[in-house]
Structure 1
Amino acid sequence: MAVVIVTGASSGIGRATAVRLGARGDTVILAARRESELATVAAEIVAAGGRALPVPADVTDPVRVADLVDRARAVTGRIDALVNNAGVGGDASILAAEEQVRAMVEVNLMAPIRLMRAVVPIMREQGAGAIVNIGSVAGEIGIGGVYSATKFGLRGITDSVRRELAGTGIAVTLIEPGYVATALTAHRSGLPGPEIVAVAVERALTRPRRRVVVPGRYRAAVMLSNALPFVTDRLFAGKAAGKPAGKRGPAAG
């Protein structure tokens, strides 16, 4: 019985991931600020025969993060996996309001760092564990203002932590979604559901990979932007800040 922490578990990608992991027999520790929504997700998992523990938590609060990890560890004495999914978006312009900027940095970057700092010593002691960080294609292609900056930062810290922990038995994977169907992308049609990311998370926990871009069609855009950045410059000149980034901007649904 694996114990897995999933942040941002009350909706969207986090909810889909928690339900999927619960269905395979994991004990899912559900973390988010919305207590009633967490209870609903927990009930869905339990009704399907799984195990879930809802832990209302603000991942920007170090005290609440410590409590979350303590409660997760108390289940079996282990923490087998951490899925850093919680994220917020906002105005894609550099002129975004100060409170939006701070929120994006705290939730999208500082929270995953704090959670990794909390679970890595436990996983080292166990000699095993898995960390999956949910980034964004906006962390490869800079078109989302501060949102993109936080996802670029998450990509950097994920690479660094993976290299730091090489040989310890702890796997570290970055999953970078593009647009997926959530409440915040309701104005878009024809998008894959958040389950596509949940499947990628499950696979990463079973067979760790360095980085996964989903849906696959975004891989070509990432490769093009990295190889020929001037093309991206021309395509998005004057347009990158045209719309708010949403919960996960142009990526990570």
Structure 2
Amino acid sequence: MPVVIVTGASSGIGRATALRLGRAGVTVVLAARRADLLDEVAAEIGTAVVVPTDVRDPAAIEALVARAREVDGRIDGLVNNAGLGSSPSILARDDAVTEMIDVNLVAPIRLMRAVIPIMREQRSGSIVNIGSVAGEIGLAGAYSATKFALRGMTDSVRRELAGTGIGVTLIEPGFIDTGFNTRKNLPGPEIVAAAVERALRRPRRRIVVPWKYRPAITAATTLPFLADRLLAGRAGRRD
């Protein structure tokens, strides 16, 4: 039975991913700060391992990976999902910016550094990093910055590990209904969970969900002046 670590597993995309993987027969190692919420997710799955984890703490990351390896002597997958948002303005508080960088960027790097030696030894494994469309189109301040950086790191790690049997995929969701978004008629986190499951089984370079954001990304990349015009006054503002 494959063993997969899912961070941020207590709610939203992480919870949906853990439930989907659990139903597929994966032993899911659930990581998040709130043990009570993780216990609820584990109860729904039935075969999950709960490891309360603050991903900002390097020692907690090491303990998480060690516990995951104890399950069956291997780690087949890592889903770097834990993430924070904050004010989209450059004027956001310094402590909020620092925390976002620690959770959205530094923690995934540390987790990859912890699991890659194990996966190299196995000659197999799959890493899925949850980025964002905001990591392609700059409009959310420091949050966008962390997701741009995660995209670059994911590309670099994928190229570094080419030929090792370890797949590395970046999934970039657009606006998703995770219970905190005020927009209406948004797709639920299950659409991202389905993409994660596919990526774990068959790694791909990048997956954008929903697909409707792909043209916007292409336009922002090839026609940046147009993106500047369309997004003028919107970046740095919550809708």
Question: Normalising by structure 2, what TM-score?
Answer: 0.99
Structure 2 residue 63 is the aligned partner of structure 1 residue 67: yes
Match of 2:157 in 1: 161
CA distance, structure 2, for counterparts of residue 195 and residue 183 of structure 1: 13
Q: AA paired with 1:26?
A: V
Map 1:72-111 → 2, pairs under 5 A = 72-111=68-107
The 5 Å alignment of 1:1-253 reads 1-46=1-46, 51-185=47-181, 187-243=182-238
The runs of at least 4 aligned residues of structure 1 exceeding 3 Å deviation read none
Count of residues in Structure 1 that have an aligned counterpart in Structure 2:
239
State the one-letter code of the partner of 1:230.
Answer: F
Gaps of 5+ in 1: 245-253
Question: Which whole-Å CA distance do the structure 2 matches of 1:58 and 1:38 have between them?
Answer: 13
Q: Given residue 181 of structure 1, which amino acid in structure 2 is its aligned partner?
A: D
State the shift of 1:160 in Å.
0.1
SS at match of 1:213: strand
In 2, Cα distance between equivalents of 1:58 and 1:68: 10
Q: Matches of 1:169 and 1:55 in 2, distance apart?
A: 27
Cα displacement (A) at 1:238: 2.2
SS in 2 for 1:173: strand
Q: How much has 1:32 moved relative to structure 2?
A: 0.1
CA distance in 1, matches of 2:234, 2:136: 17
- CA-to-aligned-CA distance 1:102-140 (integer Å, 9 cap, x gap): 011000000000000000000000000000000000000
Alignment-mate amino acid for residue 101 of structure 2: V
User: Structure 1: how far apart are the matches of 2:209 and 2:232?
Assistant: 25
Q: Partner letter of residue 41 of structure 2?
A: V
Among all aligned residue pairs of Structure 1 and Structure 2, give the percentage whose two residues are the same amino acid.
67
Work out the CA distance in 2 between the residues paired with 1:169 and 1:38.
Answer: 31
Which structure's relative contact order is higher, taking Cα pairs within 8 Å and 6+ residues apart?
A: 1
Report the 3-state secondary structure (helix = DSSP H, G, I; strand = E; otherwise coil) of the residue aligned with 2:211: coil
SS of equivalent to 1:149: helix
Q: Does the residue aligned with 1:193 lie in a helix, a strand or coil?
A: coil
Helix, strand or coil for the counterpart of 1:217? helix
Deviation at 1:38, TM superposition (A): 0.2
How big is the alpha-carbon RMSD for the aligned residues of Structure 1 and Structure 2?
A: 0.7
Provide the C-alpha distance between the structure 1 equivalents of 2:202 and 2:115, rounded to a whole number of angstroms: 20
For structure 2, the 5+ residue unaligned runs are none
Q: Per-residue CA shift, 1:196-247, capped at 9, x if unaligned?
A: 0000000001111000000000001001100101111011112201128xxx
